[in-house]
């Protein structure tokens, strides 16, 4: 459950009215609930208590330093995909020894940095990568802990841009080739074969695909464990969340909990997976991002203009696809609510940003409450893959971020000054 709720007509994050934040800090503005982040982390951590495990939060979903710090304090490890993310984790007080370094294209410099910092594992995605890690480890006189990412060739039933576990995409090593690869890797003297990893995709709302993948891979993991003395099995991330509707509204019937709708919950996930994982006797790693951060954040925006054309009502807001690209990129649904709830008829509206692209919309023809110019809206479930995918397109600043904890509020990222956007650009000498 998340901590965004109406008190009377006003939408709150924990104990803080969101409109107060919008007025104080300006919009567009990301707001995160610490209680929600922590609640989701604990829920998964508790559900998996039946096996020795480590939850490694996927930093790519939300990499704000305060978010990372809050999770590090709860004992979280981190799934990282770049040297930059490792630097962030360290800056936030996270432990490199609880970091799993993933990604298909790790550079020499990134590998060296991560080795020096002592990450828990490099999740390698190809044979050339294993050779590269081995070479660098030899130069540094170290043994690099590695796992190979197995591609189980399982359909995750999710959006094609976020499916990763089939042979159609660039991730991992084909299931049938993994054993021979471990045998060859075992001869590389500067590698320590520590585990096996897999990840089948993101926003998976049923347990079935996870179970199918674990069932398929577990016997292979057992053989590799016996042969190479492995220590862990990472089952990846991908637990889906409720986007639609994300908020309990006036009538209770309108909103049903994930469990009531048959959507994945940590309890269901654990109930089906723990019995398959327990017999392996290995440490289980998980790499959830969205499940922890998704419903812990909203993006606040102000209605600048209402434009009525013959056919449409456009609510032109001050947030845009550079702040939250998911609707434009994946046709993703984000629920849009007013910070001041009111009854009355709904009007079919398109909520659009100021960017010069017709793809710059947050919804189309969606029945929304009637609003006035100057009012604020919240785009819900924006805590994962929101701010982190932000860009400076149209020379727009990256939006600020605020963290709420009970009644307390902290600005955890300031609004980027416009001059900072082009601070590293130069006029060529011959144009001076």
Which of the residues are catalytic?
356
When asked if residue 79 is in the footprint of ligand LLP (CB under 6 A), the reply is: yes
Tell me the closest approach of the beta carbon of residue 345 to ligand LLP, in angstroms: 33
When asked if residue 162 is in the footprint of ligand LLP (CB under 6 A), the reply is: yes
When asked if residue 61 is in the footprint of ligand LLP (CB under 6 A), the reply is: yes
The nearer residue to ligand LLP, 47 or 58, going by C-beta atoms, is 58
When asked if residue 165 is in the footprint of ligand LLP (CB under 6 A), the reply is: no
- Three-class secondary structure of residue 64 per DSSP: coil
Strands 10-13, 232-234: pairing kind = unpaired
Site track 172-191 with ligand LLP (rule: CB under 6 A), x = hit = --------------------
Of 228, 372, 403, 209, nearest to 298 by C-alpha is 403
For ligand LLP (CB under 6 A), the number of binding residues is 22
Site track 306-345 with ligand LLP (rule: CB under 6 A), x = hit = --------------------x---x---------------
The total number of residues shown for the chain amounts to 432
Where would I find the H helices in 242-281? Answer: 258-261, 266-277
| CA angle 204–129–78, rounded 5-degree value | 45
When asked if residue 163 is in the footprint of ligand LLP (CB under 6 A), the reply is: no
Tell me the closest approach of the beta carbon of residue 202 to ligand LLP, in angstroms: 3
- Residue of 40, 199, 225, 283 that binds ligand LLP (CB under 6 A): 199
When asked if residue 200 is in the footprint of ligand LLP (CB under 6 A), the reply is: no
When asked if residue 385 is in the footprint of ligand LLP (CB under 6 A), the reply is: yes
Where would I find the H helices in 140-202? Answer: 178-185
Tell me the closest approach of the beta carbon of residue 42 to ligand LLP, in angstroms: 16
Residue list 121-160, contact with ligand LLP (CB under 6 A): none
- Residue of 16, 29, 47, 102 that binds ligand LLP (CB under 6 A): 102
Is 96 within 8 Å of 117 (Cβ atoms)?
Answer: yes
CA–CA distance, 297 with 412 (Å, rounded to integer): 13
Of 359, 366, 357, nearest to 315 by C-alpha is 366
For residue 153, count other CB atoms closer than 10 A to its CB.
16
- Residue of 19, 287, 323, 360 that binds ligand LLP (CB under 6 A): 287
263 backbone dihedrals φ, ψ, rounded to 5° = -85, 150
Check residue 342 and report its DSSP letter.
-
Of 384, 380, 401, nearest to 6 by C-alpha is 380
Of 120, 268, 124, 102, nearest to 185 by C-alpha is 124
The nearer residue to ligand LLP, 154 or 384, going by C-beta atoms, is 384
When asked if residue 62 is in the footprint of ligand LLP (CB under 6 A), the reply is: no
Tell me the closest approach of the beta carbon of residue 409 to ligand LLP, in angstroms: 26
The nearer residue to ligand LLP, 302 or 334, going by C-beta atoms, is 334
Q: What's the distance, CA 5 to chain centroid?
A: 22
Terminal alpha carbon distance of the chain:
57
Site track 16-55 with ligand LLP (rule: CB under 6 A), x = hit = ----------------------------------------
CA–CA distance, 251 with 91 (Å, rounded to integer): 44
Site track 223-242 with ligand LLP (rule: CB under 6 A), x = hit = -------------xxxx---
Separation in Å, CA 46 to CA 39, 73, 78, 299, 378: 10, 16, 18, 29, 31
Give the interface with ligand LLP as residue ranges (CB under 6 A): 58, 61, 79, 102, 162, 164, 199, 202-203, 236-239, 287-291, 326, 330, 384-385
């Amino acid at each position: 459950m998340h901590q965004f709720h109406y008190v009377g007509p006003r939408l709150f994050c924990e104990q803080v009215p969101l409109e107060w934040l919008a007025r104080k800090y300006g919009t567009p503005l990301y707001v995160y609930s610490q209680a929600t982040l922590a609640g989701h982390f604990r829920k998964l951590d508790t559900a998996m208590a039946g096996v020795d495990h480590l939850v490694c939060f996927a930093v790519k979903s939300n990499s704000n330093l305060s978010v990372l710090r809050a999770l590090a304090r709860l004992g979280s490890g981190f799934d990282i995909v770049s040297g930059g993310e490792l630097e962030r984790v360290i800056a936030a007080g996270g432990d490199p020894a609880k970091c799993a370094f993933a990604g298909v294209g790790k550079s020499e410099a990134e590998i060296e940095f991560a080795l020096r910092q002592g990450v828990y594992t490099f999740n390698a995605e190809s044979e050339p990568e294993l050779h590269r890690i081995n070479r660098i480890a030899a130069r540094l006189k170290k043994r690099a802990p590695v796992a190979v990412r197995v591609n189980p060739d399982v359909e995750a039933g999710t959006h094609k841009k976020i499916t990763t576990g089939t042979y159609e995409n660039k991730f991992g090593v084909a299931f049938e080739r993994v054993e021979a690869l471990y045998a060859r890797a075992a001869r590389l003297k500067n590698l320590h074969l520590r585990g096996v990893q897999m990840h089948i995709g993101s926003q998976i709302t049923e347990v079935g695909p996870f179970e199918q993948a674990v069932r398929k891979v577990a016997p292979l993991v057992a053989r590799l464990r016996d042969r190479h003395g492995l220590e862990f099995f990472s089952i990846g991330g991908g637990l889906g969340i409720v986007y639609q509707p994300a908020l309990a509204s006036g009538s209770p019937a309108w909103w049903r909990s994930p469990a009531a709708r048959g959507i994945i919950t940590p309890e269901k996930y654990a109930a089906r997976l723990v019995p398959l994982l327990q017999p392996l006797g290995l440490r289980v790693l998980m790499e959830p991002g969205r499940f922890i951060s998704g419903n812990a954040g909203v993006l606040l925006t102000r209605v600048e203009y209402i434009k009525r054309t013959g056919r449409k009502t456009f609510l032109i807001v001050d947030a845009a696809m550079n702040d939250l690209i998911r609707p434009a990129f994946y046709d993703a649904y984000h629920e849009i609510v007013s910070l001041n709830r009111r009854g009355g008829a709904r009007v079919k509206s398109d909520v659009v940003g100021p960017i010069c692209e017709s793809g710059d919309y947050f919804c189309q023809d969606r029945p929304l409450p009637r609003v006035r110019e100057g009012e604020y809206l919240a785009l819900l479930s924006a805590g994962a893959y929101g701010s982190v995918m932000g860009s400076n397109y149209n020379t727009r600043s990256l939006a600020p971020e605020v963290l709420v904890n009970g009644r307390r509020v902290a600005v955890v990222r300031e609004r980027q000054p416009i001059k900072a956007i082009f601070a590293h650009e130069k006029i060529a000498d011959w144009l001076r």
